Amino acid sequence: MATTVTAKGQVTIPKEVRDLMGIGPGSKVEFRRSTEGNILLVRADKKRPKSRFARLRGHAGKGLSTDAILALTRGEA
Burial letters 12-28, b for 16+ CB under 10 A, else e: eeeeeebeebebeeeee
Pick from 31, 29, 27: nearest CA to 39: 31
Could you tell me which residues are beta bridge partners of residue 30?
42
Quick one: average pLDDT of 60-64?
74
Indicate the pLDDT class of residue 77, thresholds 50, 70 and 90: low
The pTM for the full model equals 0.56
Quick one: average pLDDT of 34-54?
83
How far is 2 from 42, CA to CA, in rounded Å? 18
